[in-house]
Amino acid sequence: MSNEFGKYLSDFLDKNDYKIESFAKKVGYSTGLISHYTTGKRSPSYKFIETFFQKFNFSIEEKQKILEIVDRDKIPISLQEFKSKEKSQMVSPFNISDKQAIELGKYLKKQREKLDYSTNYIEIHTGIDKADLSRIENGKKKKINPLYLKELAKILKLNQIEVFNKIGYIDDEYLFETKKKEISKFIENFMKKNNYKLEYLSEMTGFSVAAIGHYKTGARTPKDDFVEKFIEVFRLNNVETEKLKLAVAMDRTPDLIKRKLKYNKNEIVETDFITIPVYSSVSAGLGCEVCSDPIDYLPYPKTTGEIIAIRVEGDSMKDTIPDGSTIVVKKNVMVEIGEIGVFLTNGIDYKEGFVKRLRHKNGTYVLESDNKKYEDIKIKTSDIIACGKVIKIMTDTNKKIKDPLYNYIDMLSEEQRKIIEPMLKGLVEKK
């Protein structure tokens, strides 16, 4: 990769007697990122160049010189990738009418101006020549390459299907391909959930903001080194790790295979089943009770490991596991932070065992109830043992909720029942 801008920036700092730290503070960027710019490890973003111009009094000629340097650093690679993609896919251009060409051009130009993007900016980030873009926006280009439309839709933050609709062309193949990529959804949700910015993801993983930006928009699919680094630095649990790897695997799957899977989704798939025992409590299911025979048996899709089911009573996990639900447990599997597991204790407390969520709070491992009225149970010694992980929750949707009135009646003594019974009988007879 060319590094003309890195050399320019280094000379600028020396000429103006700036240290990287003081320069970074002035432009509002991290010292690490500025260092990457000077060494050529990263190419500056368009936003950074705008900030650079705002903070220093450059002449028109000097600004033009800087933009040309950035162009030379970026455009050849961008064009090479774009042309390579265009050649490999051998996509035929769309022939459109005069009216469609004018409508499409106005639509794209209006959005570009709304985002305050120059044609130079579009060329840098997509590899589409400014002259071609001008012809498209002026309605002069009657043969449109679909790859151009896809690139423009991405950079202009437009729905690709709507863009294709403007020229009256929608095909199943393009409809399928224009859906947001799975890795895009994963990164967007991860950033939103944790309130992270692209710069922070870049700093943590060591990958450029531009690269992660491409992953976020779906322009590119990350390689394994990024995936492994992401899992490592953000300490993803098993569920999150599986989601990330699945997202990448789905995006790498050829569209032909995806369409085949899509069309066959209603076909019946034969599955082998096993019979698993159902126990009345955690301790019974783990063989810690004298009478620990199963109370029932259930069919379950065949899988590896020892699988059992346990009937759960109580409301400590009611937001996730309602009272009376049946949980499927994979025994002797490590429970990760945030996951639900089954636990036993060597002490007299909780002798029935319990089902809780494993958490790490203030430097201490705790067992947490999803029902917040229950306090956390701190794990201080080896008395508490994780015996398996909950892999499925089965709720009886037909189970009727017990009327609270019955609970009060159950709490009455014989004397109190004799008093209340005539009163209830009288109320019923007055209906």
Pairing type for strands 354-361 and 340-345 reads: antiparallel
CB 344 within 8 A of CB 283: yes
Q: What is the SS3 assignment for 193?
A: helix
pLDDT class for 109, splitting at 50, 70, 90?
very high
182-263, CATH topology level: 434 Repressor (Amino-terminal Domain) (1.10.260)
Q: What is the pLDDT of residue 400?
A: 43
CB 346 within 8 A of CB 383: yes
Of the candidate ranges 181-185, 228-232, 351-355, the one whose mean pLDDT is the lowest: 351-355
Task: Give Cα separations from 335 to 38, 319, 369, 391 (angstroms).
Answer: 45, 20, 15, 11
Q: What is the pLDDT of residue 84?
A: 47
Q: How far apart are CA 418 and CA 431, in angstroms?
A: 22
Task: Render pLDDT for 164-184 as a digit per residue (tens, 0 to 9).
Answer: 777 765 544 444 344 557 888
Sequence-separated (6 or more) residues with CB below 8 Å from residue 103:
139, 166
DSSP readout, 259-283?
HHHHHTTTSPPP--EEEEEEESSHH
The structural domains of the chain, with segments of one domain joined by +, span: 4-177, 182-263, 275-394, 403-431
Q: What is the SS3 assignment for 376?
A: coil
Interval 90-98 mean pLDDT: 67
Q: Which residue has the higher pLDDT, 123 or 17?
A: 17
CB 26 within 8 A of CB 48: no
Which pair of structure tokens corresponds to residue 352?
Answer: 């029935």
Q: What is the pLDDT of residue 254?
A: 62
pLDDT class for 82, splitting at 50, 70, 90?
very low
> Does the structural domain 4-177 have CATH classification 3.40.640.10?
no
- Average pLDDT over the chain reads 77
275-394, CATH topology level: Umud Fragment, subunit A (2.10.109)
Task: Render pLDDT for 284-315 as a digit per residue (tens, 0 to 9).
Answer: 545 444 346 788 888 888 888 889 998 888 88
Task: Give Cα separations from 249 to 41, 183, 221, 241, 291 (angstroms).
Answer: 28, 9, 9, 12, 47
Interval 114-134 mean pLDDT: 82
Q: Which residue has the higher pLDDT, 153 or 253?
A: 153
**E strand or H helix at 350:** none
Q: What is the pLDDT of residue 396?
A: 60
Q: What is the pLDDT of residue 291?
A: 41
Task: Render pLDDT for 11-62 as a digit per residue (tens, 0 to 9).
Answer: 999 888 899 989 999 988 888 888 888 888 787 876 788 888 888 888 777 8
Of the candidate ranges 8-12, 35-39, 189-193, 397-401, the one whose mean pLDDT is the lowest: 397-401
Tell me whether domains 4-177 and 182-263 share a fold.
yes
Q: Which residue has the higher pLDDT, 230 or 129?
A: 230
pLDDT above 80: residue 397:
no
